[in-house]
């Protein structure tokens, strides 16, 4: 019996990172406030998870001004999308193996 747990990506073990990537997979860009609101976590917690995903080059950061207010938005990179899809496929295989 194959051990499918080895196909899971450690970057997505956190429920917050899983949530971030899930949101970014279906949206072109999402701003910091929207992500924070949807996941209901603190600024610091959100920032640390976004930083970790950025270091892995799974997300891109876009900083701009809207009027006079700064705005930071995030999007999934092609490599981030690929890694996330592979992670989900690994989860599916693990679930099917268990049934």
- What pLDDT shows up at residue 26? 97
Is pLDDT above 80 for 92? Answer: yes
Contact 60, 75 (CB under 8 A): yes
Instruction: Name the residue with tokens 């970057």.
Output: 11
> Residue 2: CB partners within 8 Å, gap ≥ 6?
93, 97
Q: What is the model's pLDDT at position 1?
A: 59
Q: How high is the mean pLDDT of the chain?
A: 93
Phi, psi of 61 (to 5 degrees): -115, 135
């Amino acid at each position: 019996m194959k051990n499918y747990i080895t196909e899971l990506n450690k970057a997505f073990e956190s429920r917050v990172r899983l949530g971030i990537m899930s949101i970014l997979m279906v949206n072109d860009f999402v701003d910091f406030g929207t992500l924070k609101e949807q996941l209901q976590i603190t600024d610091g917690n959100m920032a640390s998870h976004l930083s970790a995903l950025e270091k892995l080059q799974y997300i891109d950061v876009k900083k701009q001004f809207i009027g006079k207010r700064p705005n930071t938005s995030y999007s999934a990179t092609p490599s981030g999308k690929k890694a996330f899809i592979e992670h989900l496929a690994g989860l599916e295989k693990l679930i099917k193996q268990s049934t």
